[in-house]
Structure 1
């Protein structure tokens, strides 16, 4: 059986639209994201809130701006959203998966969910391709999600591990933020500009082509293969500002057929608030 790709095309989603197990989720973010969803979203999509459904926000100094929720709380959230183990979950946002679409994908993969994909091109591209649009609120009937696991199943590291990695020539820390934030020229969100010592900059935008679609798996494999050739997977860590956009690059790596490396969820938002 052919392995399911983590990216799904608009025409493929249209073909699935009558599948009773299909569950579509809109994970756009921003202060007006819910009201924008209510005005316009893909037909049958349900809104997911990054701050309350995909994170447990506390003090950014301890875990960053979007720390993961407790595993058991996320499992309850999946049931509340109407997802069970048989659900074919398709996720989109309004930033080509770079907003919170890829974060939700990573979290579902990390609880062992098999059937989850991110929509290539997101909301805008689907609308341009004449995917049916709806308005108003929408919900799926609640379920009970049963996971085979008790904790996250994808690799993560924490701030002390990152500190050690900054001094380890066999490790690489990858910062996926745009180059101006990495260089410390601008910092629109966090308190301090700059980057983690010895981090390399691979902006997430390099995963996309000029149309805002993911580059082909072959192109992405070539883009990242040198990085993966040089370092052991356990020594590769991806991060961003708050552990959300980094998942876009992890998604790209999975799409390319490469192993998913470490995620540092606290990212720059945690690192920059600690005197290290």
Structure 2
């Protein structure tokens, strides 16, 4: 770990500086489309940041779905660590995660790297659009496979709760749901078995973390916006969820960038919760 590590967001200029300095880098393209799960991989082939490798939400960042464990269940830590070792990840490597969807998929990879204990992981602020706007080149050339490293999962830097643990804490934690307001209220449900939300949750659409230019709002502004949702327990008393444990990571990243440290993730989120008829639900 180095004081120069980027641990939440990294700008295009900072990424270019690391490239110029020869810092060990692993650039991950996480572009994805829930409606067309091959779209991100196609887009990567049509043009990506030089040196980037593609990771697929379903194949690389999720385990097999059973129908009751959510739409994007976390893989085993050891399996994801092995995937990272195959990409040459070491403790000295700065990982930069990006997508073309406002960081919603990149944030999931960022959280998972912290779950493995890797500190030097950051999301490219503004993603592919910011790279393009800065005149960054794209390539269609596949990135050569690096030598496999001996990377192994270390102590997690983040905390996750399962459904049972969350249910025992309802009313004592501040639960933040990152889904669109109409889904949160239960007016529509295009993806999961039931409409509504987990009782006691507050709604914070993840897109509210972004400014008009697609970059994250300033740390100061994010802090002002999240503080009413965090009080009175503080950040460590916050649990994030969404539909399937993906966009919740965007809110968690925004809080970390704002200096509101230590919030938790419920990875199964609404897709897991709503699949179990024993779980309470709320609407409106």
TM > 0.5: yes
Counterpart of 2:161? Answer: 157
The Cα offsets for residues 83-134 of structure 1, whole Å up to 9 and x where unpaired, read as: 1211111110111211x10011011112111211110111122112211111
Deviates more, 1:226-235 or 1:37-46: 226-235
Contact 1:112 1:147 in 2 (8 A): no
Quote the offset at 1:248 in angstroms: 0.5
> In 2, distance between residues paired with 1:269 and 1:229?
27
Quote the offset at 1:20 in angstroms: 4.6
TM, length-normalised to structure 2: 0.89
Structure 2 CA distance for partners of 1:153 and 1:60, relative to 1, 3 Å: farther
Equivalent residue pairs, number:
271
SS at the partner of 1:17? helix
Counterpart of 1:67? Answer: 73
The Cα offsets for residues 124-179 of structure 1, whole Å up to 9 and x where unpaired, read as: 22112211111142243132243362x6441111111222233x2x3221101111
Give the alignment partner of residue 198 of structure 2, picking from 170, 185, 196: 196
Contact 2:26 2:89 in 1 (8 A): yes
Quote the offset at 1:233 in angstroms: 4.2
Q: Does 1:102 align with 2:104?
A: no
Counterpart of 2:51? Answer: 44
Give the alignment partner of residue 26 of structure 2, picking from 23, 36, 57: 23
Correspondences of 1:174-185 after superposition (within 5 Å): 174-185=176-187
Structure 2 CA distance for partners of 1:71 and 1:148, relative to 1, 3 Å: closer
> In 2, distance between residues paired with 1:139 and 1:124?
24
The Cα offsets for residues 60-88 of structure 1, whole Å up to 9 and x where unpaired, read as: 412x1111111111110001122121111
Counterpart of 1:144? Answer: 149
Contact 1:238 1:264 in 2 (8 A): yes
Gaps of 5+ in 1: none
> In 1, distance between residues paired with 2:150 and 2:214?
33
TM, length-normalised to structure 1: 0.92
Gaps of 5+ in 2: 280-284
Moved over 4 A (4+): none
Counterpart of 2:123? Answer: 118
Superposition CA RMSD, Å: 1.8
> In 1, distance between residues paired with 2:144 and 2:181?
39
> In 2, distance between residues paired with 1:148 and 1:105?
14
